[in-house]
């Protein structure tokens, strides 16, 4: 009986010890399996690409454009087209060549000055000639004093097809030089004489006149004794163009019985008139 109990206790011990051993083995295996899964996940994490941040939609964040780091090309850098035509090619060039230059160099006043000269030698002025002249004056207003410019305008004003365009230039961008040309035309023999005379009387056009031209027009449009009010202005500003309206006032005869009377007795001793004429002669 004692021996049987001892055998059963030993079997229980063996079975319990075996169970303990199996439990230990299962625990070690579970730990190993868990460790293996962690290693596998770590390896997969290292092998996968890094996530890309999505662009923010915040209005305060500005995106910088992609650049190569090289400076942007400038029109002044090598390879930029020059703004002026070669001077050596302008001299003696004909209208077709100059017309191409005008397309290639639209900001070069020398091209349009050459065009004006070429138009003068090509016969009657055309609308295109005045277009080129208008472009020249826009680029270089001081060219309004040029002899060729004023010659072209006078010729164009005498042609029905170009008269209106010519008068627009004479009363606009040519300024004082245009007004002087109108005065010259108003005493000429062309069909433009009447229109030029009317324009010199226009107050808005007179705003372009120089002081010398303006006093001349005032004297011209004022009769004998009324001119006395203009003597001081004439003394200060008038040039030789005013002399035909002042010199006749010096006469003290030509009226009345036997033409012995003074036609301008209203001028008195003419001291102020003589002073004005002397100042003009000195200039």
Q: Spell out the per-residue pLDDT of the chain, length 283, in tens.
A: 444 444 444 433 333 444 433 343 333 344 333 444 443 444 344 444 444 444 444 333 343 333 333 333 334 444 556 789 999 999 889 999 999 999 999 999 999 999 999 999 888 899 999 999 999 999 999 999 999 999 999 999 999 999 999 999 999 999 999 999 999 999 988 899 999 999 999 999 999 999 999 999 999 999 999 999 999 999 999 999 999 999 999 999 999 889 999 999 999 999 999 999 999 999 9
| Residue-level pLDDT at 190 | 87
| Residue-level pLDDT at 81 | 63
Which two three-digit tokens encode residue 176? 């004082």
**Integer Cα distance of 5 and 167 in angstroms:** 144
| Residue-level pLDDT at 29 | 41
**Integer Cα distance of 273 and 134 in angstroms:** 42
CA angle centred on 244, ends 240 and 249, rounded to 5°: 120
DSSP letter for each residue of the chain: -HHHHHHHHHHHHHHHHHHHHHHHHHHHHHHHHHHHHHHHHHHHHHHSPPPPPPPP--TTPPPPPP--SSPPP-TTSTTPPPSS--HHHHTT--HHHHHHHHHH-TT-HHHHHHHHHHHHTTSS--HHHHHHHHHHHHH-GGGGG-HHHHHHHHHHHTSTTTHHHHHHHHTTTTHHHHHHHHHHHHTSSSTTHHHHHHHHT-HHHHTT--HHHHHHHHHHTS-GGGGGGGHHHHHHH--GGGHHHHGGGG---SBSGGG-B-TTGGGTT-HHHHHHHHHHHH-
| Residue-level pLDDT at 181 | 97
Q: Please, what is the angle between helix 163-170 and helix 127-139, to 10°?
A: 20
pTM of full prediction above 0.75: no
Which two three-digit tokens encode residue 131? 């277009």
């Amino acid at each position: 009986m004692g021996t049987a109990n001892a055998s059963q206790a030993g079997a229980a011990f063996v079975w319990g010890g075996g169970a303990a051993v199996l439990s230990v083995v299962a625990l070690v295996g579970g730990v190993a399996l868990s460790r293996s899964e962690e290693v596998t996940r770590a390896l997969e994490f290292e092998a996968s690409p890094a996530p890309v941040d999505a662009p923010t939609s915040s209005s305060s964040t500005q995106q910088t454009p992609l650049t190569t780091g090289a400076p942007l090309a400038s029109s002044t850098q090598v390879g930029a087209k020059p703004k002026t035509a070669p001077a050596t090619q302008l001299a003696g060039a004909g209208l077709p060549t100059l017309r191409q230059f005008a397309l290639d160099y639209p900001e070069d006043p020398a091209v349009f000055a050459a065009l004006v000269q070429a138009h003068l030698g090509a016969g009657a002025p055309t609308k295109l000639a005045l277009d080129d002249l208008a472009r020249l004056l826009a680029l270089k207003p001081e060219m309004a004093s040029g002899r060729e410019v004023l010659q072209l305008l006078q010729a164009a004003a005498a042609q029905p097809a170009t008269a209106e365009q010519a008068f627009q230039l004479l009363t606009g961008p040519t300024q004082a030089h245009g007004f002087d040309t109108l005065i010259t035309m108003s005493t000429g023999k062309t069909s433009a004489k009447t229109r030029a005379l009317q324009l010199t009387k226009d107050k808005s056009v007179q705003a372009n006149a120089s002081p010398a031209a303006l006093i001349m027009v005032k004297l011209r449009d004022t009769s004998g004794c009324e001119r006395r009010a203009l003597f001081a202005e004439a003394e200060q500003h008038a040039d030789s163009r005013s002399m035909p309206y002042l010199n006749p006032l010096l006469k003290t005869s030509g009226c009345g019985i036997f033409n012995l009377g003074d036609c301008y007795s209203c001028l008195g001793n003419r001291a102020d008139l003589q002073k004005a004429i002397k100042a003009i002669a000195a200039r």
